[in-house]
Structure 1
Amino acid sequence: MTELNTNSAAARGRRNRLGLGALLAVAIGLVVSQGVMVLMLQAVGMAGIGFIIPLFLTYLLALSYAFSFSELSLMIPRAGSLSSYTEVAIGQFPAILATFSGYIVVAMFALSAELLLLDQIISKIFPAAPLPPLSIAFGVLGLFTVLNLLNIDIFARLQSFLAAVMLVVLLLLGFSAIGHQHAQPLGQLMADGAGNPLGWGVLTLAVMAIWGFVGAEFVCPLVEEARRPERDIPRAMIVGLSVIFCTIAVYCLGALLLIPREELASNGLPHYLFATTVFGKSGQLFLATAAITATCSTLNSSLATIPRMLSGMAQNGQAFPCFKRHSARTGAPWVSVLFVAAITGLPLLLMAADAINLLLSAAALSWLLAYIITHINVLVLRKRYPHQHRPFRTPFYPWPQLAGIAGMAYAIWHVSPSAEQALRIYTVAGAVLGLVSVIAVLWIKLVMRKPLFKPEPLTPRVSPDSPVNRALQPSADNPSL
């Protein structure tokens, strides 16, 4: 979720055009998340070495959405990203649904899960501290809400550094476990039944696996700030996703060689178990530092960016006008900040402490819906504007889009190996997305007074003389990819 911090990066990019390194840091920033650390270990505990199958398949699905976002962002180089592409392709209702599904609803579930994890980690490390339940979670949420109301972004300058640090943390844990004196040989692990105990049922772990690859598209809103967008936007996503795949694979293999599979699957804080097994008591401090940094950075990024996304939608008439309100003193979109803080805190009150897996799976389901809409956008715009200049064209079109839609629909349908857990995920995600859909329909018909599915015209929204427009024009020096 740290990839949500794009507004601050964009502001810096206006002064210093963003190169591949900066965009790559945004694309891999999602690893600064406790959710990834937890879900990956629980999944490898369920499936053993067989987890590499859904992990690799979801990596391919992630590449498919990277292709689609690359094509759309360079064809329609607007900071609005998904909502801008969707309203041009298939209309206002899918645009609003995709934006809420892929970002606002995801933040509601994922940020709550991050805060729950932080609360549990601190309680685990300092069990003697007399703190009321969820006091850490609500305290951190309150602190960063106030900071963002004051328009103070204390993590903006550290985002790239934090993303790199968390990659190092995961790789250090993985390689240290692989070389640990108590690590099992891989052959013995396979002989003990940790090969693929779920059989074909391992594919039902795709939603857990996909959580490690969502969010690389947050480089796309930076298209107007990129130095060489036609080259660096696609490369940042593709290279970033590949780095993440290798990192997660090493991290999971190390845990599986050192810790019994059943313990990983059943432990609510498997990353705590992993860190203390590898580094002993010092692993507590190691993990506490990483957890606090990751959660605070993620929360701060979301509260800095998503309210501005809501404010922009309100400016376009796609959300309630109150979201346009900014503080005269600080410039912060205070109504939007309070709204995002409220929807983040609500699941903390309604969900049990063991609902982390449920929240993260519901978030992944919502994000997959947004990705399916993205693939549909590419298919529709290819048909409607076949001669439009596209600096990036999806390799082997339309197979990545068709495979992406089919694979993501399969992952949504098989959201959990447990029928009971799947029902809970569908209920939670479906209720929120259903409410969003009803409000969107009423808003478009009664307030915007527009058809639900009539596409908006494809018109440029950036200056013809802007660097991004010059960079994306076809020429002898800049052929279409």
Structure 2
Amino acid sequence: MNEKAGATKGLKKALGFPSLFIITIGIVVSQTSVVSILQGAGMGGGAFFIAIFIAFLIALCYISTYSELALMMPKAGSISTYTAVSIGHFPAIIAALSAYVAPAIFGSLGELLLLQNVVDTISPDTFTHVALVVVWIFTLLNILGIDLFASVQSIVSFIMLVTLLVIGFAGLSTTTNEGTAPAEIWQQLTYPDSAVFTLILVALWPFIAFEMVCDFIEEAKNPAKHIPKAMFSACIVLMFAYSLVAFVAMKSVAADQLAGSAIPHLVVGKMIFGDAGKMVVLILSITTTCGFISTGFATTPRLLYGMAHHKQLPPIFMRLHPKWRTPWFGILFLATIITIALLLIKNNTDGLLMLVISGASCYLLAYIITHIDVMVLRKRYPNYPRPFTSPWFPLLQIIGISGMVYAFINNSPSPELRAEVFINVALFIGLSGVFAFCWVKFKMKKGLFQPEAIEQAIKD
């Protein structure tokens, strides 16, 4: 079978609810997620639970919005498809590139360097190229097919979730209480100060990217039922898991240690398990990073695949492997960029977490745009079939937009870091905007804000 025939045949439908649920967990939970929760716990104390709950509510809003859009237009392009139909290809390309591709690259770098940092701390000068090995193992696994990816991802994500819960429940029963007393944690929760609201983005980062499971919609066996269920279920499970780990960390470790450590999960693990904690945290680090990298290599190339189908990117991104029917070019493209960046940066972690926060801020742009997409499409296509309808319209969209804007404006307790984040976000959006303008104007020869007909978008 030639490559063109493979592309015509399309992506393979192989994913049921268990696979989609565990893939969603793997997409969202990462080392940077765990670090954000632990550092936030150190900075906010008991009041940080308020930030976690607000982030949880914001996540429910965007999950509801994405569920409606994804099932209304069940294509792998995700946000690029929805936005092209609602407000045109120019904002669609900006949203997809600046809010998904760029954060995927910087988030992956942060994950890989954190893993290398943990490995080097536990066993110095032993495994100096762990990051590169992880990149190319999961590049190969993703090219070899969605069935193999789902099987490996299920194992990795299950171990990761169990390890996270083991740390949480073991911490509840431990007699080590060198952190904040539970009574004081409760006092901080019931009488918070306004500073906790500057930590919403810190709490939101661990709840970002549930919607990326929508990029598997063409490979889901029953997307109308299982895609929303996977996202909502994963969000609820992780809200409890994050809250448990945050509480255990608060009572086990001094607040300044949590807030000031680059690898607070290692500090918590050693405090709870002693020397054995190194192995527990190593397992958590390996599984979270592998899960993040694996799902990133699965979802981002499918986003690029969908964009290419809408002629928003060069057609080479549409190519599927003739045997395994995976978007091999997009996978290799992403792996190559990350590999080059790793070789240039080496083990220098300075500024990477700040770039991750910048990436999170870019995500907020995408969520705001998708909320707008739903409101526009409700008016333009009021009678179009919607297997899932976002409830209480437009209340959730208004809450979601308001929460995202507030989190973006107050993205950090530090004014200096906040300014750096604004600059990085402006850079991401600016570069994406230049490409989008030139591509839409001169290659696609369309109006910048000319909507695509929904029938054409689904046909593509």
Taking structure 2 as the reference length, what is the TM-score of the superposition?
0.88
- CA contact 1:51–1:196 (8 Å) conserved in 2: no
Structure 2 equivalent of residue 247 of structure 1:
241
Q: 1:407 aligns with which of 403, 417, 420?
A: 403
Is residue 2:298 matched to residue 1:301? no
Amino acid at match of 1:96: I
Give the structure 2 partner of residue 272 of structure 1: 266
Q: 1:421 and 2:450 equivalent?
A: no
CA gap of 1:139–1:427, structure 2 versus 1, over 3 A, is: farther
* Displacement of 1:27: 2.8
The answer to whether residue 385 in structure 2 is matched with residue 389 in structure 1 is yes
In the alignment, which residue of structure 1 is the partner of 2:105? 108
Matches within 5 A, 1:313-332: 313-324=307-318
**Which is richer in helix?**
2
Structure 1 residues 333 and 161: alpha-carbon distance in aligned structure 2, compared to 1, 3 A threshold? closer
SS at match of 1:459: helix
Moved more, 260-269 or 164-173: 164-173
- Answer whether contact 2:213 2:227 (CA < 8 A) is retained: yes
Identity %: 38
**RMSD (CA atoms):** 2.9
CA deviation string 1:289-319 (max 9, x = no partner): 2212322332233234423432442343211
Gaps in structure 1 of 5+ consecutive residues: 1-9, 464-481
Q: Classify 1:429/1:108 alpha carbon distance in 2 versus 1 (closer, same or farther; 3 Å).
A: farther
Give 2:429's match in structure 1, choosing from 419, 426, 433.
433
Q: Give me the whole-angstrom Cα distance separating, in 1, the residues matched to 2:427 and 2:253.
A: 38
Aligned equivalents of 1:325, 1:220: Cα separation in 2: 20
Q: Secondary structure at the match of 2:391?
A: coil
Deviation at 1:190, TM superposition (A): 5.3
Instruction: Please list, as runs of the form range in 1=range in 2, the aligned pairs for 1:132-211 lying within 5 A after superposition.
Output: 135-141=129-135, 144-145=138-139, 155-183=149-177, 185-189=181-185, 199-211=193-205
Q: 1:71 and 1:322 mapped to 2: Cα distance? A: 30
**Inter-CA distance 317–223: structure 2 relative to 1 (3 Å threshold):** closer
The answer on whether the counterparts of 1:32 and 1:162 sit within 8 Å (CA) in structure 2 is no
User: What's the offset of the Cα at 1:22?
Assistant: 3.1
Tell me how far 1:46 sits from its aligned partner: 0.3
Could you list the per-position Cα deviations for residues 273-294 of structure 1 after superposition, in whole angstroms to 9, with x for gaps in the alignment?
A: 1111111111111221221232
Q: Which structure 2 residues correspond to residues 293-372 of structure 1 after superposition, within 5 A?
A: 293-324=287-318, 335-345=329-339, 348=342, 349=344, 352-372=348-368
| Residue number in structure 2 paired with 1:118 | 115
Task: Please tell me whether residue 445 in structure 1 is matched to residue 448 in structure 2.
Answer: no
Answer whether contact 1:30 1:215 (CA < 8 A) is retained: yes
Task: Tell me, in whole angstroms, the C-alpha distance in 2 between the residues paired with 1:148 and 1:160.
Answer: 13
Matched, 1:58 2:55: yes
Identify the residue that residue 4 of structure 2 maps to in structure 1.
none
Deviation at 1:269, TM superposition (A): 0.2
Q: Which runs of 5+ in 2 are unaligned?
A: 1-9
Q: Which moved more, 1:311-320 or 1:391-400?
A: 311-320
Measured after TM superposition, the shift of residue 344 of structure 1 is 2.5
* 1:134-171 residue CA offsets vs partner (Å, 9 max, x unmatched): x4434543555566677799643121232232222122
The residue number in structure 1 matching 2:394 is 398
Q: Corresponding residue for 2:207?
A: 213
Q: Which residue of 2 aligns with 1:234?
A: 228
Aligned residues: 446
Select 1:376's aligned residue among 366, 372, 376: 372
Alpha-carbon contact 2:368-2:401 (below 8 Å) kept? yes
Contact 2:107 2:359 in 1 (8 A): yes
* TM-score, scaled to structure 1: 0.84
Shifted more, 372-381 versus 217-226: the winner is: 217-226
| Alpha-carbon shift at residue 370 of structure 1 (Å) | 0.8
Q: How far apart in 2 are the matches of 1:228 and 1:311?
A: 21
Task: For residue 179 of structure 1, report the CA deviation from its aligned partner.
Answer: 1.6
Distance 1:153 1:433 in 2: 35
Query: Is the CA contact 2:215–2:302 (under 8 Å) kept in the aligned structure 1?
Result: no
- Identify if the C-alpha distance between structure 1 residues 222 and 147 changes in structure 2 by more than 3 Å, giving closer, same or farther: closer
Q: Distance in 2 between matches of 1:252 and 1:364?
A: 20
1:89 aligns with one of 63, 86, 89: 86
Runs of 4+ deviating beyond 4 Å: 142-155, 188-191, 194-198, 224-228, 324-335, 345-348, 460-463
